[in-house]
Amino acid sequence: MSSISETTSTTIEGTLGEVAELLRVVKPAEAEARMERLITAQSGGLRTHEARLRTAISAFRFHSKKRMSRLNGLLEEALASITQAEQIEQAAKTLSEQGEKLRQWLSSSVLTIQDALDAATAFQSACLAVESQFKEARASFRAVAAPTDLAVRIRLVELLQAQGTATEAKLRGYDDSQLNLVLGVVRNIKELRSRCVEVCPETGAEAELVIDGVSRLAAERLATSAVSPELAWNAEVASLIQEHALQVRTLSNVAESTTLAVAVLLWPALSEKVRQWELSDGVLRLACDLSAYAEAKPCLEGVTRLEALSHDDIVLAGKYSGNRTVQNLIDRGGARDLEGLRSRLESREFNTFMVEGVQPRVAELAFSHNIERFAGIEGAAFVDENLRALRDNDILPADDFTVGVRRFDVKSNRHYRSNADRVGLRGFQVHVHNRSPRSELAGIVFTASSPTSLHWAFVGLCPESSIPVGRDRAGPYLFSLPSSLSFPDRSSTPTRLEMVALLRDCGSGAHETSTFRATDRASLLRSLDAISRGEDLTERALWDEATTELMELRSSGGDATLGRKLLARKKEEAESAFWLFRMASIGGRPLLSRWVDEVLSKLNEHWDRISCPGCRQLGRLSLRPLRITDAGTVTGAISCKCGFNKAGGTFITHCWQPAVVCGRYPLVIGAQALCDCGGLRCECGVCRCDRH
């Protein structure tokens, strides 16, 4: 090393002497070139001879300050490069020493995985610091760190595997009373996995194997042990069991697992797997049946294209309308399709024919095309009695369809586009005049129309005897969907009671997931309770309950905010797929949901504007519904703190003028003035007492 330094010094001394001589004989360009070669070639001794170099460069000032400045700049750059190289060398040395210490420390038998992770993280931080400071030497630093990185990976995998083995032993040692600790244990090992992968991504595959073993064992313990209801309904437990469903299936007592039954309710995808297990009667099979039922919600709505109507359909529509002008046009061949009639009739007369004649025939066709689903009949031939009578030139019968001994009379509402928004839900009332006394009434409700199509919904069947004598119209709630669409309960009474107990004891767990909401649990629990008691639960009962509960809440001092919360829950319950009887949908929503939105919400928002007929003050009335009709009218008792009482008050009703004039619905107390007769006066100025 000494000889090299001496050689460098000799070279520099000699070159500087040559530069001085060239400057003396006034050859600055050659001197500059010689000086530049010296600076760029001699990196080893530049710092030692820095003073003499600067002195030599300063001599250029007598010849060219520009050359002097340039040479000074070259010297500064060369010295900076030397400094950086020394720093990089020192950083690499320090990093190597740190890596060596870490590798020795990792070999310790008492090392914990947390300590190893912390130390590895500190080493990585040191590597990143020097790499960010000396970007051009990044590859060199990585080469220095490579042995340590490999040692870290190997040791982390060893420690994680040991942690996994210890965790599995802990899980096996838990008795049933300690199972609430399982989720915490699984979370801890998953957090360790995440940190290992974050510190050393190459451990990912080994870490997943460890986590899979621990979580699988946890799922098996939770699926086959007597866990608490709160734990059974925990969405994290359900997710864990869903993840390891194939392994859980092999367990001996899985068919009686309440935890797995809950997981099936919470995760429809798991239900699909478990339904393939050929389960016998038990709470797990019941959960699978319930989940399948909720997923298979039928669509009982459709669209009929008017261009698809046959000439026979047009003829029957003419007869249904009772319009002699239309019938004569059809009979004489003047119009064989709707376009022909449209061109020969005045607009109003044609529109009336479409509502009074075409809509009833389209309702019959909708029923006939879906009779197996709508009537719960499979594989049986049916007869379109009206079409048969037409072709036999016979009088039209009272019955529309016959299927064996069953007879059906199809009835529908009258949908006028011009007043649909004004009449609201009352527009869905089914016209039941001229009904057959021996038939089942089939209800079809038209929800929208255009010049080319009719949108309809099947609302169910209703025995003729259920319609009060003299009634010409019936609300959709009087109709019920066939039992074939309801839940096919195959479970035993003990199994059903076990499911009821499971639902009642769910605690807050069911609220943690969006797949099985609290309102789903409530509707399912209510339905199972009704089955156990032999109660005939209907949509009409839910309609009455929602109306009564809102009035009780507001009458007892509850404000509009509480009313909105109640109605939001009622609406969500109405739309639950877990009612074990099917509710008809109109326009894609259960009618009860629309009742909440369009009627009860209006009552809630206007409640504080209801004034007492006696003292004329606001917010003092108590309303108690006594009669809720299928037509949407609610009447009952009104009382006030001032002592005013009236038994025949009207809370919700409709305008008593015909729909072509007004017919507005709903009229709601608070939004409309309460008449002295107890009725509500419409915005058009008419009350029920004005009919007399």
pLDDT score at 392: 92
Q: What was the pLDDT predicted at 452? A: 92
| Residue 305: band (very low, low, confident or very high) from pLDDT cuts 50, 70, 90 | very high
| CA distance linking residue 23 with residue 461, whole number of Å | 119
Assess whether pLDDT exceeds 70 at residue 526: yes
Mean pLDDT of 376-388: 81
Give the per-residue pLDDT at 510.
46
Examine residue 666 and say whether the peptide bond preceding it is cis (omega within 30 degrees of 0): yes
Q: Would you state the pLDDT for residue 36? A: 82
Q: Which secondary-structure segment (H or E) carries 681?
A: strand 680-681
User: Could you read off the pLDDT of 25-49 as tens digits, one per residue?
Assistant: 778 888 888 888 887 776 667 777 7
Structure tokens at 503: 């639902």
Residue 7 has pLDDT above 60, yes or no: no
pTM above 0.85, yes or no: no
Residue 9 above 70 pLDDT? no
pLDDT digits (tens, 9 = 90+) for 616-668: 888 778 888 888 887 788 888 888 888 888 887 888 988 888 877 888 889 89
pLDDT number for residue 509: 47
Q: What pLDDT is recorded for position 312?
A: 92
For the stretch 157-169, pLDDT in tens is 888 899 899 988 9
Residue 248 DSSP SS3: helix
Which whole number is the average pLDDT over 288-300?
A: 88
Residue-level pLDDT at 226? 75
Highest mean pLDDT among 70-74, 284-288, 455-459: 455-459
What's the confidence (pLDDT) of residue 320?
93
Pair of tokens at residue 665: 């619905």
Write down the pLDDT at residue 334. 64
For residue 73, is pLDDT > 80?
A: yes
Return the percentage of the chain with pLDDT > 70, whole number. 95
- Distance in angstroms (rounded) separating the CA atoms of residues 155 and 152: 5
Q: Is residue 305 classed as helix, strand or coil in its secondary structure?
A: strand
pLDDT of amino acid 6: 52
Average pLDDT for residues 288-302, to the nearest whole number? 89
Q: What is the pLDDT of residues 575-617, one digit of tens each?
A: 999 999 998 888 888 989 999 999 999 999 999 888 887 788 8
What pLDDT, on the 0 to 100 scale, is given for residue 299? 86
Q: Is the model more confident about 303 or about 403?
A: 303
Query: Alpha helices of 267-337 — where are they, by DSSP H?
Result: 268-274, 283-295, 311-321, 324-331
pLDDT in tens, 421-435: 888 888 899 998 888
pLDDT confidence bin for 4, thresholds 50/70/90: very low
- Tell me the average pLDDT of the chain: 85
Q: What burial letters (b/e) apply to 626-650, b meaning 16+ CB within 10 Å?
A: eebebbbbbbbebbbeeeeeeeebb
Highest mean predicted confidence (pLDDT) among 254-268, 465-479, 552-566? 552-566
